[in-house]
Amino acid sequence: MISTFHGLELLKRALFANEAMMNTAGHNISNANTPGYSRQRVDLTEDTPMFEPGLTRSETAGQIGTGVVMSDITRIRSSFLDQQYRDNNSTLSQWTENQTTMNQIQAVFNEPSDTGISTVMTQFFNAWAQLANPQSSNDPSARSVVQERAQTLTNTLNSTAKSLQDTQTNLLNGVQADVKQVNVYLQQISGLTQQINTIEASSSDKANDLRDQRDEALDQLSKLTDVTVAEGNGTYTVKIGGQTVVNASGTATPTVTQLTADASGNLSIPVASGELKGYSDSIANVTNYQSMLNTMVNTFVQGNAQVSLPNTYAFPANTTSMPFDAVLPDGTKLSKGDPVSNIPAKYNGELPTGTTITVAGFNGLHQLGYTAQSPSTNAPAFFQTSDGSSTFTAANIKVSDAITSDIRNIAATTQAQPDANGNLQAVAGNGDLAAMASNFGSSVLDFSNAPANGITYPQGTVTGYYNAIIDQIGIQGQQANQNVTNQQALVNQISNQRQSVSGVSIDEEMANMIKYQQSYNAAAKMVSVMDQMFNTINSMVQ
C-alpha cells in the first residue's frame, strides 16, 4: 500500500531539484566573466522505484516512481583541451619573449639609420679619405675631422655595448621575477590541492570552484614554463621540465619543489618552453651578439688585415728585415722577418704600388706612419682600451690618449725624410697611409677566431662582417614574428574550443532558467493539488 504522503515526498524532491538547477544556472551567470570558471551542471537521475519484487510486494500493478535525485553537480571541463592549451600557451610565451628581445636588439643596433655603427664607420673612413688628399694632408682641420669621427665611432660602439648589457641585465631580472612567480603559483596549487582532497575525501561532493581556481593557476603557470598534470588513484602531480614540482597524495600536505635561478639565469630545473625558456634563449642571443660585436671590434683594431699600398713604400733607414708579410704584384711572397734584400732587384729595395701587406689591424696600419710633429716620430696606436686590457671590445674601445691630446699624432704618410738639421720630418703632401686607412673598410680581415655560435665568416671585410651580424638579427627577428603569429592563431583556436566546452552562454542559461522555473512551478502546482486532496480526506474523516 502506497503512503498517502508519497506524492508530497516525490514533489518535494522535484522542488529541491529544480531549485538546485536554478541556483546553479544563477551561479553560472554570475561567473560568466570570471577567468578560469567552468560551467556547472546539475546531474539528475530517477530515484529507486517502488516496489522491488518480493513476498511483501504490494498488489498495486507496476512500479511506482519515487521522483528525482540530484546525483551530483558537475563542472564541464576537458582535460585534453586544458593540456593542449597549456602546451601551446607555453610555446607562445616563449616566442613572444624572443620577439620582444629581438625587437630590442634591432633597436639597439638601429640599422639602417644616420646614427648606426655602419654610418659612423663610413664617416670615419671618409674622414681619412679627405686627409689623404695632397692638399689636406698637412691641414689641421682635416686631422680634427678624423679625430672627431673616430670619437663618434668609439662612442657609438660604447653606447651599443652598454645598451646590449642593459638588455641582458633586464633579461636576468626577468628570470628572477618569473622564478618567484612560478613558486607563488606552485604554493597556490599545492594549497588548493590539499583543500580539494580534504573536501572530496570526506564526502561525495566535488570541489568544483576550487578546481577551477587550481586550473586557472595552472593556466597562468603555463605562461612562464612548460607544465603537465597527472591525476588519479588519489594522487595529483604537477611537472615542470619533466620533473615533479607538486606531489599530492590523499589529504596529506603536498610536497613542493621550489624553482631557483643563479645570477647567470641558469635554472635548477631546465624548462622546455614558456617565458622562462624565452628568457634563456634571449640571454643566449644577446650574449652571442655581444661576442660577435666584440670580435668585430678586436679584429678591426688589431687582427690580421691585408691592405694594398697605393704608392711605392720606402723602408725606414737601417731597416734590414721585413716588418710585415707582403705579396708583391709579381707574386713574390715575403714573410715578416725575411731580409729586405730578398725583394727583387728590379724594385730597388722598395715595395711597389699594389703590394699587399699584412698589418696588425688598424692600429698596426697607423703605426707604420709618421706623425706631423716636428721632428716627426713613429705614429702611436690609434685606439686603446679604457680598462687597460689587451683585448678590444665594443665596451672598452676608445681613441688613444695620444690622438685625443694632440691631432698632430694622427699619421697621414708612411714616408719621412731628415731636414737640413737632420731632424726627421713627415713628407708633405704624401697621404699614402691616410689612403690605406680610408680603404680599410674593404681590407680583408681574419675572423677565424669568431665565436663558434656566431656567423660563419672566417675572412672578409669589417663592413661585411657587421652586415652579416645585422642580417642575422633581421632573420631571427622575422622568425620570431612569424612564430608568434602562427602560435597565437593556434592558441586562439584551442581557447575557443575550450570556451565552447566550458564557457558560460548567457542565452543558454537564461533559456534553462525559464525551463527550470516552469518545472518548479508545475511541481508547486502539484503540491497545491495534493493539499486539496488532503483537505478532502480530512473532511471525510470528520
pLDDT in tens, 420-430: 887 888 888 88
How do residues 330-344 score in pLDDT, each as one tens digit? 999 999 999 999 999
| Lowest model confidence (mean pLDDT) among 12-21, 276-285, 453-462 | 453-462
Kindly report the number of other CB atoms within 10 A of residue 456's CB atom.
Answer: 8
Q: What confidence score (pLDDT) does residue 61 get?
A: 59
> Residue 337 forms beta bridges with which residues?
none
Cis peptide leading into 375, omega within 30 of 0? yes
Please answer whether residues 221 and 42 qualify as being in contact, where contact means their C-beta atoms are separated by less than 8 angstroms.
no
What's the whole-number mean pLDDT along residues 136-162? 92
Residue 394 confidence (pLDDT) above 70: yes
User: Could you tell me whether strands 333-334 and 325-327 are parallel, antiparallel, or unpaired per DSSP bridges?
Assistant: antiparallel
What's the whole-number mean pLDDT along residues 170-186? 97
Q: How far is CA 518 from the centre of its chain?
A: 56
Kindly report the number of other CB atoms within 10 A of residue 389's CB atom.
Answer: 9
Check residue 474 and give left, alpha or beta (phi > 0: left; psi -120 to 50: alpha): alpha
**How far apart are alpha carbons 215 and 192 in whole angstroms?**
10
Element (H, E) at 138: none
Q: Which cell numbers hold the place of 15?
A: 522542488
> What confidence category does residue 222 fall into, taking pLDDT thresholds of 50, 70 and 90?
very high
Instruction: For cell 714616408, name the residue.
Output: 415
Structure-model confidence comparison of residues 99 and 528, the more confident one: 99
Check residue 233 and give left, alpha or beta (phi > 0: left; psi -120 to 50: alpha): left
**How far apart are alpha carbons 121 and 469 in whole angstroms?**
15
Q: Which cell numbers hold the place of 483?
A: 612564430
Residue 86 confidence (pLDDT) above 80: yes
> What confidence category does residue 534 fall into, taking pLDDT thresholds of 50, 70 and 90?
confident
What's the whole-number mean pLDDT along residues 181-203? 93
Q: What value does the mean pLDDT of the chain take?
A: 90
Residue 196 confidence (pLDDT) above 70: yes
Backbone φ, ψ for residue 390 (5° rounding): -90, -10
| Lowest model confidence (mean pLDDT) among 51-60, 343-352, 433-442 | 51-60
Q: Which cell numbers hold the place of 156?
A: 657609438
Biggest alpha carbon–alpha carbon distance for the chain: 154
Question: In Å, how far are 389, 398, 524 from 395, measured between CA atoms?
Answer: 12, 9, 84
Residue 536 confidence (pLDDT) above 90: no
